[in-house]
Amino acid sequence: MTSAPLAARLTRVQGPLFFPVTAYRPDGALDLDAFRTHVRRGIDAGAAAVFACCGTGEFHALTPEEFGACVAAAVAETAGEVPVVAGAGYGTALAVRFAEIAEAAGADGLLAMPPYLVVADQPGLLRHYTALAEATSLDVIVYQRDNAVFTPEAVVELARADGIIGLKDGHGDLDLIQRIVGAVRRDLPDEDFLYFNGLPTAELTGLAYRGIGITLYSSAVFAFAPDIALAFYRALITGDDKTVNRLLDGFYGPLVELRNLGRGYAVSLVKAGVRLEGLDVGEVRPPLSEPRPEHITALADLIERGRALLEDGA
């Protein structure tokens, strides 16, 4: 962990945000050596930040002890080169406990995922996230999706709270996110609140979010094909729409179609991709299931096609 504020470090990022998978041995136990190798490869490939033990990292399947070991391994491997943000979730008490573990492990910040199961009203959600922020010195990014979707007025209150630095949008309602951005800009004109495109394959909506002014995004593809993800990122931020559209039409669009063929593929298909690239990170833990063999074959073909598109555009 460095002394530089997380918000400042994320504001000046020059690459995709990396969400590593969590590696397991054949017996199902953690494989921290493989996990560290995965993290190192991502850093060397140009990751701007490491988001450890989040959705792609199967936060839901980790014990607190495993979570702490993984976050500490990510912190050790990054050695301050890029910030490490750890997941936190469930109810308020458990989210605070995971925050404490992440802080002790040296993380730079938290990605606060939706509370477990319950559908809360806006005041209840605000109580939950502000309590989490008050319980830790780590900066908090709130993940909007599923049962944690906010009104613009609620996000203004989140932005007012000490320690909450941004909103990751996994809901995908562009009308809503535009109104959220506008409300925070109007009511808190001096607040440098961060926004992230957090949809499962964020590149597919990258042009739309860029139009709203949101350029930070999570890249699941970076976990298994960092060369494709980085080429897309550079094209997006430089306005090279020709390259963006070539990759959207030839790679990312078909990838989303493939991802939609199975439940949980937003995680298990990514993990299969990491294995296809030569690093054995094991299978996903229950209740997730492995992709069907023909879908893994289709993913391998798609990665090859994506790299061919890079060569064609060189």
Residues assigned a catalytic role: 143, 168
Peptide bond into 287 cis (omega under 30): yes
> For residue 105, which amino acid is it?
A
Q: How far apart are CA 11 and CA 13, in angstroms?
A: 6
In whole angstroms, what is the distance from residue 110 CA to residue 77 CA?
Answer: 18
Q: Are 138 and 146 in contact (CB under 8 A)?
A: no
Task: Read off the DSSP letter of residue 61.
Answer: G
CA 290 to chain centre: 21
Amino acid at 270: V
Assess contact for 178 and 148: CB atoms under 8 A: no
DSSP annotation of 250: I
**DSSP code for 261:** T
CA dist 13 and 65 (Å) reads 30
Quick one: tokens of 20? 């590593």
Tokens found for residue 107: 């993380």
4: CB partners within 8 A, 6+ apart: none
Q: For residue 309, give the 3-state DSSP assignment.
A: helix
